[in-house]
């Protein structure tokens, strides 16, 4: 059997250490590496070794009990969570590691929600029981109240593999399966039947087995591995047509693109053709090499089968999240998105376009960067999760490309949206050009992004032009009127349009679409949005007064404080802009005893809209990339009509 297992957790819970122990135990590595000794098999990069944190989701292969395991170790640091999220989609099972001292932390909850959304069967491992202050019972109770009541403890006494199952575990299963309970009451049930039921429940997300131990001291790890092996079952079929999913993009030293794929079905051989969609375009390309990866080692192979994870060369533009073969066309939408943006700074002797080329490579590997080229200012901007990510990027750019760079102070990534529906029209007709587009813009649900719909009849506008409009709506972030920030949460419907059978050229529909969008924005009400955190702050009772006044200042909304013993917990949501530096302040006034978890909670109306608009100083009439006017043609030459007069001139 082939199984892909991922390690997930809050930073420092012990994912890499546990993975290392599993690899050692299965004879994959001869010596146990240690994160603290900079010798871990899975934290190979210098940056990871120096900082003692995982930055890249690396993988290793191990064999156990006749099965092949692909083990993916993900970063726990929030700044690298997009890398973690990209890995989730290929998991057959996940292991969530939780420290027996720190318990459930902010990022543990984020990881848990994502795993539930993707329906990944999940095991829990309460780690570090050797440390002072470890309390498995307390942490287990926390897990049941904060993550799921369907988590059940499997101790060594339960020993499922020796044909015995403890009655407490049977009870937990029977509670969730009435038929099995009835059968059990009537005639008794074989242990194998209990096991099958439990495995099925795990797959459906109705039950989550929990273990405890010490990854560092090798306590409970063998028991955990045996149960993991017993309870994860996959049924990949190598005989069907090939289906795959891209989970990562990298480049080799020569800049050749390496596409990391998991085969979900079928068999893939070197020189096979592979089909996928890039945007709306269908691409078919030949696979030139297939390689298996194990830590830093890479081996060439002729073929791979369903359930395997491997690297392919020869594929030019499939991106992480894309489906391949019979899965082509499907793409994963990511939830953990950056809330900050920053400018790339470098010496004037380096040509910006050279730097841009390198950043486009990084962008392919981490699409959450959303690398943007500002033609007007000749500057590169990226989206970022946080400061640590920027420090790591500076190193990566130097090591890989030899450029010394720095980043501008990260700024909040504002967005804009509309609050009233409107129809926007754009017409583009300089001499010998022609395109006209009518779009309905409606406020979408918060955090839904831009959604495109088509209500245009093919008799009104031929289908190929309709596709062009769809493409131009989706090809980039569009500037809003207030600050030039990307517009979002808008449903855009193509109502009608017109092409000319001689004069419509490539690019004309882009002009008309952008102008229609912009004219629509001019005609309706625009508001500014900013990112919010969900927060949870825990302080000693004596600090609650200070905390409440700080939260009020930060424009937070929150639930009534909850008291447990001497500790008070406050949960709520607040703008990223007012809370991003609060952890330092909290540590200072609570003398390091207060804890805070900040989890990205989507966009909401900006708390200081007027101030931000003033500070940004965006002039909507001077944006070189956007115009709300339309171009019409008379007596052989084009002339511009301002947005508020353009409707009367439209041809359709």
Ligand X SMILES: Nc1nc2c(ncn2[C@@H]2O[C@H](COP(=O)(O)OP(=O)(O)OP(=O)(O)O)[C@@H](O)[C@H]2O)c(=O)[nH]1
In the DSSP assignment, the letter for residue 240 is: S
Q: Which option in ligand X, Mg ion, none does residue 77 bind, with CB closer than 5 to 8 A by kind?
A: ligand X
Please list every residue from 176 through 235 that binds ligand X, using CB under 6 A.
214-217
* Radius of gyration of the chain, Cα coordinates, nearest whole angstrom: 28
Q: Which is nearer to Mg ion, 54 or 524 (CB)?
A: 54
Beta bridge partners of 573: 534, 557
Q: How far is the CB of 394 from ligand X (least distance, A)?
A: 19
Query: CA 587 from chain center: how many Å?
Result: 29
Q: Is 15 in the site for ligand X (CB under 6 A)?
A: yes
Q: How far is the CB of 131 from ligand X (least distance, A)?
A: 4
Q: How far is the CB of 202 from ligand X (least distance, A)?
A: 23
Residue of the chain from 128, 381, 479, 496 that contacts ligand X (CB under 6 A): 128
Q: Which option in ligand X, Mg ion, none does residue 96 bind, with CB closer than 5 to 8 A by kind?
A: none
Q: Is 13 in the site for ligand X (CB under 6 A)?
A: yes
Which residues of this protein are in contact with Mg ion, per CB under 5 A?
15-16, 54
Q: Which residue has 């649900």 as its token pair?
A: 445
Q: How far is the CB of 364 from ligand X (least distance, A)?
A: 24
Q: Which is nearer to ligand X, 16 or 597 (CB)?
A: 16
Q: How far is the CB of 538 from ligand X (least distance, A)?
A: 21
Q: Is 12 in the site for ligand X (CB under 6 A)?
A: yes
Label the pairing between strands 340-345 and 406-407.
antiparallel
Q: Which is nearer to ligand X, 305 or 368 (CB)?
A: 368
Q: How far is the CB of 25 from Mg ion (least distance, A)?
A: 18
Burial of 30 by CB count in 10 Å (0-12 exposed, 13-18 middle, 19+ buried)?
exposed
Q: Is 17 in the site for ligand X (CB under 6 A)?
A: yes
Distance CA 605, CA 415 (A): 9
Q: Which residue has 């017409």 as its token pair?
A: 427
Structure tokens at 149: 């009541």
Q: Which is nearer to Mg ion, 54 or 108 (CB)?
A: 54
Residue of the chain from 2, 5, 8, 14 that contacts ligand X (CB under 6 A): 14
Q: How far is the CB of 646 from Mg ion (least distance, A)?
A: 56
CB atoms < 10 A from the CB of 605, how many? 14
Residues 6+ apart with CB under 8 A from 433: 503, 504, 505, 508, 511, 638
**HEC profile for 24-58?**
HHCCCCCCCCCHHHCCCCCCCCHHHHHHCCCCCCE
Q: Which is nearer to ligand X, 102 or 508 (CB)?
A: 102
Q: Which is nearer to ligand X, 139 or 174 (CB)?
A: 139
Q: Is 35 in the site for ligand X (CB under 6 A)?
A: yes
Residue of the chain from 1, 11, 361, 460 that contacts ligand X (CB under 6 A): 11
Beta bridge partners of 572: 535, 558
Q: Which option in Mg ion, ligand X, none does residue 399 bind, with CB closer than 5 to 8 A by kind?
A: none
Q: Which is nearer to ligand X, 17 or 504 (CB)?
A: 17
Look at residue 478 and give its three-state secondary structure: coil
Closest alpha carbon to 251 in 311, 323, 332: 311
Q: Which is nearer to ligand X, 16 or 466 (CB)?
A: 16
Q: Which option in Mg ion, ligand X, none does residue 245 bind, with CB closer than 5 to 8 A by kind?
A: none
Cα-based distances in Å from 392 to 44, 129, 385, 396: 14, 32, 12, 6
Q: Which is nearer to Mg ion, 7 or 499 (CB)?
A: 7
Residue pair 121/92 in contact (Cβ under 8 Å)? The answer is: yes
Size of the site for ligand X (CB under 6 A): 23
Q: Which residue has 């511009």 as its token pair?
A: 640
Label the pairing between strands 122-127 and 93-99.
parallel
In the DSSP assignment, the letter for residue 560 is: P
Q: Is 131 in the site for ligand X (CB under 6 A)?
A: yes
Please list every residue from 51 through 80 that binds ligand X, using CB under 6 A.
53-54, 75-77
Look at residue 289 and give its three-state secondary structure: strand
Name the residues that contact ligand X, by CB under 6 A.
9, 11-17, 35-36, 53-54, 75-77, 127-128, 130-131, 214-217
């Amino acid at each position: 059997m082939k199984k892909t297992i991922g390690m997930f957790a809050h930073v420092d819970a012990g994912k890499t250490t546990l993975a290392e122990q599993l690899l050692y135990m299965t004879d994959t590595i001869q010596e146990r590496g240690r994160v603290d000794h900079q010798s871990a098999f899975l934290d190979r990069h210098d940056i990871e070794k120096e900082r003692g944190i995982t930055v890249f989701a690396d993988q290793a292969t191990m064999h156990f009990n006749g099965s092949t395991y692909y083990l993916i170790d993900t970063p726990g640091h929030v700044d690298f969570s997009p890398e973690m999220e990209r890995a989730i989609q290929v998991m057959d099972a996940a292991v969530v590691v939780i420290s027996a001292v720190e318990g459930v932390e902010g990022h543990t909850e984020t990881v848990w929600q994502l795993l539930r959304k993707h329906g990944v069967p999940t095991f829990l491992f309460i780690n570090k029981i050797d440390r002072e202050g470890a309390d498995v019972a307390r942490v287990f109770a926390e897990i049941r109240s904060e993550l799921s009541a369907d988590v059940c403890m499997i101790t060594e006494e339960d020993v499922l593999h020796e044909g015995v199952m403890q009655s407490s575990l049977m009870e937990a299963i029977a509670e969730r399966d009435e038929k099995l309970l009835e059968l059990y009451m009537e005639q008794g049930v074989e242990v194998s039947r209990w096991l099958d039921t439990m495995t099925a429940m795990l797959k459906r997300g109705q039950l989550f087995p929990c273990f405890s131990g010490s990854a560092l001291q090798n306590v409970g790890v063998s028991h955990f591995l045996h149960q993991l092996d017993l309870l994860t079952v996959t049924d990949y079929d190598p005989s069907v047509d090939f289906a795959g999913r891209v989970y990562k993009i990298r480049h080799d030293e020569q800049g050749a693109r390496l596409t990391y794929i998991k085969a979900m079905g079928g068999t893939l051989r070197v020189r096979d053709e592979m089909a996928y969609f890039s945007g709306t375009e269908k691409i078919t390309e030949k696979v030139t090499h297939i390689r298996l990866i194990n830590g830093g080692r890479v081996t060439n192979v002729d073929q791979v089968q369903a359930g395997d994870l491997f690297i392919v060369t020869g594929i030019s533009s499939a991106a992480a999240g894309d489906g391949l073969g019979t899965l082509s066309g499907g793409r994963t939408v990511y939830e953990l998105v950056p809330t900050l943006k920053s400018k790339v700074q470098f010496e004037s002797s380096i040509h910006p376009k050279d730097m841009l080329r390198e950043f486009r490579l990084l962008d392919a590997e981490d699409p959450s960067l959303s690398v943007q080229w500002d033609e007007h200012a000749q500057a590169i901007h990226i989206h970022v999760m946080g400061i640590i990510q920027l420090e790591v990027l500076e190193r990566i750019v130097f090591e890989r490309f030899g450029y010394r760079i720095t980043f501008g102070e990260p700024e909040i990534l504002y967005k804009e949206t509309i609050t009233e529906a409107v129809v926007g029209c754009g017409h583009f007709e300089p001499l010998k050009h022609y395109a006209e587009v009518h779009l309905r813009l409606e406020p979408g649900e918060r955090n839904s992004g831009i959604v495109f719909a088509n209500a245009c009849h093919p008799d009104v506008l031929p289908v190929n032009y309709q596709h062009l409009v769809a493409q131009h709506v989706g090809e980039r972030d569009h500037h809003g009127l207030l600050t030039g920030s990307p517009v979002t949460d808008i449903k855009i419907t193509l109502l009608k349009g017109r092409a000319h059978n001689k004069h419509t050229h490539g690019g004309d529909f882009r002009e008309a679409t952008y102008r229609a969008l912009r004219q629509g924005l001019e005609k309706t009400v625009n508001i500014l949005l900013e990112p919010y955190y969900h927060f949870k702050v825990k302080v000693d009772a004596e600090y609650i007064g200070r905390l409440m006044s700080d939260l009020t200042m930060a424009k937070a909304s929150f639930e009534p404080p909850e008291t447990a013993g001497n500790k008070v917990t406050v949960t709520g949501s607040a703008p990223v802009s007012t809370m991003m530096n609060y952890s330092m302040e909290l540590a200072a006034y609570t003398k390091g005893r207060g804890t805070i978890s900040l989890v990205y909670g989507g966009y909401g109306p900006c708390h200081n809209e007027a101030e931000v608009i003033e500070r940004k100083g965006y002039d909507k009439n001077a944006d070189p990339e956007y115009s709300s006017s339309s171009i019409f043609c008379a007596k052989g030459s084009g002339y511009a009509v301002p947005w508020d007069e353009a409707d009367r001139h439209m041809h359709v």
